[in-house]
Amino acid sequence: MNTFTITFAKMGVSLLALSFLLVSCGSHQGVQSDLTKNDNIETIFNENGSVSFYDTETGEMTAKNLIIDWTQNSPHDSLSVFCSQDLRGYFSAYSGRVVIPAQYRRAWIFSEGLAAVQKDDRIGFINHQGKTVIDFIFSYYGNPLTDFVFHNGVCVVANNEGKCGVIDKTGRWLILPEWDYVAAFKEYAVVTAEGVRKQMTYDGQVMNSFVVEDVQELTYIREEYSQYVVGHMEEKNMIYYTGLYAYRVGGRWGLMDSQCNRLTEPLYADITAVGNNIFRAELLDGFSEVILNSKGEVMNRFP
């Protein structure tokens, strides 16, 4: 079999030149050029589109005739995920050996010793030996998330109803799946639902029950005319400040004063000032509106 061998460390070819060489030799164009993290591993692109790995130190062919559609290295792990004929598996980024054969419908990179994989329509987590560590209990379809990777010992996942929470490396819920969106950090998580946004620790304690996404000062514009000379009027747009603010929590807007007192709960799609004591509050249907006064009270119909 004719092969085309590339040793990245010795040749030092650019990615552009490498792409040209691969296309010119009729090899599989979907394969990345930086498949391994070891300069001693030669990547051999075979004429039939398959890939082999050769260890120049030991003289061993560590993998032969792999069909690889794409790969993704993990920045903090030795195993790389690869796709072969629409199935995912893992090979060593340092030797090229296939560690976990391609068998999963979907798979994510390894992080902190675990990787999420999809079997049937469920997502679970496996270790470097391919053993299941966290059972396949998380639905893929209807799931609002696209990334299932552990960071700082925690991972954001969703239950079968599409509600998000946080699990540890044993699969135990640290923050129950009650939220539309969760952003996990080392010390805490920020959880969001409609009209609600909180800062929570991983033992379920609320650090801050009122986390806002945005605050905007409410102003309005009026056209005013000034006469400078006889017969000549100059028009100006004057900005007036109401002294009130719109705040956003969980994608919804509310009204508050300059002392951070909430005048309304976050109930509206938008709030705009019309005058010093009149505010338009758009309802969640996107076109209906109510009128608020400067106390946050809704204008009722005429008696």
Tens digits of per-residue pLDDT, 91-121?
999 999 999 999 999 999 999 999 999 998 8
> Into how many domains does the chain fold?
3
The conformation of residue 24, written as its DSSP 8-state character, comes to: H
Average pLDDT score over residue span 29-57: 82
Structure token digits, residue 300: 């009722």
Q: 203: which residues sit within 8 A by CB, 6+ positions away?
A: 174
CA torsion 17-23-29-34 (nearest 10°) is -30
Q: What is the pLDDT of residue 194?
A: 85
The conformation of residue 178, written as its DSSP 8-state character, comes to: E
Spatial distance between the Cα atoms of 175 and 173, rounded to a whole number of angstroms = 5
- Do 218 and 203 belong together in one domain? no
Q: Identify the helix (H) or strand (E) that includes residue 13.
A: none
- Do 2 and 89 belong together in one domain? yes
Domain that holds residue 156: 123-211
Q: 197: which residues sit within 8 A by CB, 6+ positions away?
A: 190, 191, 210, 211, 212, 213, 249, 250
Task: Name the pLDDT band for 31 (thresholds 50, 70, 90).
Answer: very low
Task: Name the pLDDT band for 181 (thresholds 50, 70, 90).
Answer: very high
| Residue 11 near residue 33 (C-beta atoms within 8 A) | no
For the chain, the first-to-last Cα distance in angstroms comes to: 91
Tens digits of per-residue pLDDT, 241-288?
999 999 999 889 999 999 999 999 999 999 999 999 999 999 999 889
Tens digits of per-residue pLDDT, 186-202?
999 999 998 889 999 99
The CATH number of whichever domain residue 129 belongs to comes to 2.40.10
CB count within 10 Å of CB 272 equals 16
- Do 207 and 218 belong together in one domain? no
C-alpha R_g of the chain = 29
Quick check: is 297 in a domain?
no
Quick check: is 111 in a domain?
no
